[in-house]
């Protein structure tokens, strides 16, 4: 499955219970964003490998996996949780080496994974249908929720295992099988997850992985007629492409896409708590998270004080080796993202924004490091305000009233998340209700749970992940009519 050669790991593709090279024999290296050095070699999968994986997943639906009861699936997911709990430190280290985010961040995510599998293990045997008392008393009518079938899961580089788990745990609980396509930048942890699934006892073909250094494998998975459902996390532009490809064979989709989330700070908020929440929202994880609170809307009466507090804290953020205990922000994940983020900062300055702190590449660390940046004097027409950046960049605007704050917060095509900071509980609820966002945190930010739905409207996606709603995303509803009288009916009359 994997073997150590010097300091570099080498992997094959887990498809149908076997680990094999890519059909073409192609491989590529994945790089450590901190050192810039290759540290693992993975297969360069193609459309042929996707076809093999989908075939294996389809076959597993009618094999031992398809024959399992819901309770048996739940017990298997509990075993998965136990294995992942044991190996969380190692999985966190792997993710940090692949994407450059803090070890404390990725280790925390890895340690949280078992909770998702345990939550959905508990839901596996609670997928209930209904009996329907329709106007036809001569029929017993009921519904069943059955697995949708083969699920294609495509995940990005920022939180590979967490975002894959948000798909895999409910899909497996529902009885589906999966083909996973991780980002070309962060393929290793998904391959290692396949090893843990195998150890926990998932039958062959239930979970398959195709890695690749080009868009070919992802495009092939989205368009494959044997895939019944696509679950995607990534940019809005690519999500639209995935949805269009899925529609070509009428597959369903859940899309967890971009965000441009606002944190709204009223003049009665606890500014110390707010400062901590702003830092957590946009500088934690280097801002490389879809829920980043990258727009700060501040009441005019506290604008200057809060900006100074946030800028002062941002200046002290320790940049460095993401594996070191005292590091608070690592490098960006890859060179393309570095160019994107620095380009946004440059564009904002050209459009008249003022740099309160940061403002570009970090001169001390070099490499893929960008300074935590706070920009004031921004306006809704600036790219830095209207477009997702996916980096440590905060755009600040001021407001004077509640209606203006809500209007500014909602003036985006995204709708993923928002934060509200106030000591007025009535205002907190009013504003939360008025915001067009799938998640609203009040006096907090960036908190998730397997029990709480996540997702948003507009360019932020389609459907929801997490919570009991998520498992229904991976089922189809079947209506069953049972005639009770034995009488012969008119064959030329409906009903």
Task: Check whether residue 206 and residue 303 sit in a common domain.
Answer: no
Domain shared by 268 and 248, yes or no: no
pLDDT of residue 1: 41
Residue 165 has pLDDT above 80, yes or no: yes
pLDDT in tens, 19-63: 999 999 999 999 999 999 999 999 999 999 999 999 999 999 999
Average pLDDT over residues 178-184: 98
Q: Answer yes or no: are the C-beta atoms of 160 and 103 closer than 8 Å.
A: no
Q: Between 284 and 3, where is the model more confident?
A: 284
pLDDT, one tens digit per residue, over 296-321 is 999 999 999 999 999 999 999 999 99
**CA atoms of 466 and 490, how far apart (whole Å):** 47
Domain identity same for 210 and 346: no
392 in the same domain as 423: yes
Domain of 354: which CATH number?
3.40.309.10
Shared-domain flag, residues 281 and 191? no
pLDDT in tens, 425-438: 999 999 999 999 99
Task: Tell me which long-range contacts 439-445 makes (C-beta under 8 A, separation of at least 24).
Answer: 439/291, 441/417, 443/269, 443/270, 443/273, 443/277, 444/277, 444/419, 445/263, 445/277, 445/278, 445/280, 445/281, 445/293, 445/419
Q: What is the mean pLDDT of residues 380-389?
A: 95
pLDDT tens track for 189-246:
999 999 999 999 999 999 999 999 999 999 999 999 999 999 999 999 999 999 999 9
**Would residue 451 count as lying in a domain?**
no
In angstroms, the Cα distances linking 259 to 100, 223, 310 are 21, 25, 21
User: Structure tokens of 431?
Assistant: 């504003």
Q: Residue 208 gets which letter from DSSP? A: E
Q: Are 257 and 461 in contact (CB under 8 A)?
A: yes
Give the chain's domain count: 2
**In a 10 Å sphere around its CB, with 0-12 CB exposed, 13-18 middle and 19+ buried, how is residue 433 labelled?**
exposed
pLDDT tens string 18-27: 999 999 999 9
Average pLDDT over all residues of the chain: 96
Q: Examine the pLDDT at 188 and tell me if it is beyond 50.
A: yes
- Cα(213)–Cα(215) distance, rounded to whole angstroms? 7
* pLDDT computed for residue 2 by the predictor: 40
Q: What is the number of H-type helices and E-type strands within the chain?
A: 15, 22
CB atoms under 10 Å from CB of 261, counted, come to 33
- Per-residue confidence at 109, pLDDT binned at 50, 70, 90? very high
Query: Do the domain assignments include residue 341?
Result: yes
109 in the same domain as 57: yes
Task: State the pLDDT at residue 6.
Answer: 44
Would you say residue 418 lies in a domain?
A: yes
Note whether 7 and 112 are same-domain residues. Answer: yes
pLDDT of residue 71: 97
**Whether residue 250 sits in one domain with residue 266:** no
Task: Please give the residue range of the domain that contains residue 427.
Answer: 262-442
Check residue 205 and give its pLDDT. Answer: 98
Determine the pLDDT at residue 255.
97
CATH number at residue 47: 3.40.605.10
Residue 167's pLDDT is: 98
Query: Per the domain annotation, does 453 fall within a domain?
Result: no
Closest CA to 68 of 140, 154, 175: 175
In a domain? residue 269:
yes
On whether residue 460 sits in a domain, the answer given is no
Q: Is residue 448 part of a domain?
A: no
- Same domain? For 298 and 363 the reply is yes
Q: What is the mean pLDDT of residues 166-180?
A: 98
Active-site positions?
A: 256, 290
Q: Are residues 53 and 201 in the same domain?
A: yes
Contact, 48 vs 24, CB < 8 A? yes
By percentage, how much of the chain surpasses pLDDT 70? 99
Cα(264)–Cα(254) distance, integer angstroms? 28
Averaged over 7-22, what is the pLDDT?
A: 94
Instruction: State whether 77 and 156 are in the same domain.
Output: yes
Contact criterion met (CB below 8 Å) for 112 and 449 = no
Asked whether residue 341 falls in the same domain as residue 192, the answer is: no
What is the C-alpha to C-alpha distance for residues 349 and 362, in angstroms, rounded to an integer?
A: 17
pTM of the model: 0.94
In a domain, 484, yes or no: no
Q: What is the pLDDT of residues 114-124, one digit of tens each?
A: 999 999 999 99
């Amino acid at each position: 499955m994997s073997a150590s050669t010097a300091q570099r790991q080498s992997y094959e593709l887990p498809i149908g219970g076997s680990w094999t090279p890519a059909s073409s024999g192609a491989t590529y290296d994945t790089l450590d964003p901190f050192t810039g050095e290759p540290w693992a070699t993975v297969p360069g999968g193609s459309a042929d490998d996707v076809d093999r994986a989908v075939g294996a997943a389809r076959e597993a639906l009618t094999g031992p996996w398809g024959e399992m009861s819901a309770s048996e699936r739940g017990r298997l997911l509990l075993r998965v949780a136990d294995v992942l709990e044991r190996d969380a430190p190692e999985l966190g280290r792997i993710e940090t080496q692949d994407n450059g985010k803090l070890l404390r961040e990725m280790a925390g995510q890895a340690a949280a994974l078992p909770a998702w599998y345990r939550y959905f293990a508990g839901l596996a045997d609670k997928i209930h249908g209904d009996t329907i008392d329709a106007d036809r008393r001569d029929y017993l009518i009921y519904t069943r929720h059955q697995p949708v079938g083969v699920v294609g899961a495509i995940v990005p580089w920022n939180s590979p295992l967490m975002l894959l788990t948000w798909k895999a745990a409910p899909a497996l609980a529902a009885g589906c099988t999966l083909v996973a396509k991780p980002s070309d930048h962060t393929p290793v942890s998904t391959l290692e997850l396949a090893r843990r699934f195998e150890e926990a006892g998932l039958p062959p073909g239930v979970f398959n992985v195709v890695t690749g250094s080009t868009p070919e494998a992802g495009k092939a998975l989205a368009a494959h007629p044997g895939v019944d459902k696509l679950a995607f996390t990534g940019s809005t532009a690519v999500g639209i492409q995935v949805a269009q490809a899925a529609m070509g064979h009428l597959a369903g989709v859940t899309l967890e896409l971009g965000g441009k989330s606002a944190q709204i700070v009223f003049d009665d908020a606890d500014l110390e708590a707010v400062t901590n929440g702003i830092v957590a929202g946009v500088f934690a994880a280097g801002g490389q998270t879809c829920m980043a609170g990258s727009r700060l809307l501040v009441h005019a009466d506290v604008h200057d004080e809060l900006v100074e507090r946030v800028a002062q804290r941002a200046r002290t953020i320790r940049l460095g080796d993401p594996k070191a205990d005292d590091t608070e922000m690592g490098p960006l994940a890859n060179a393309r993202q570095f160019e994107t983020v620095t380009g946004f900062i440059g564009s904002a300055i050209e459009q008249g924004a003022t740099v309160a702190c940061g403002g570009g590449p970090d001169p001390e660390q070099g490499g893929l490091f960008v300074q935590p940046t706070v920009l004031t004097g921004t306006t809704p027409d600036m790219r830095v305000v209207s477009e997702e950046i996916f980096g440590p960049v905060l755009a600040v605007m001021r407001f004077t009233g509640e209606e203006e704050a809500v209007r500014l917060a909602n003036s985006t095509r995204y709708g993923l998340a928002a934060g509200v900071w106030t000591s007025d509980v009535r205002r907190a609820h009013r504003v939360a209700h008025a915001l067009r966002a799938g998640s609203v945190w009040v006096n907090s930010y960036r908190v998730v749970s397997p029990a709480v739905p996540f997702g948003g409207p507009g360019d932020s996606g389609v459907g929801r992940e997490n919570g009991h709603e998520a498992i229904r995303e991976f089922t189809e509803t079947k209506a069953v009519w049972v005639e009770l009288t034995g009488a012969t009916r008119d064959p030329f009359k409906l009903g």
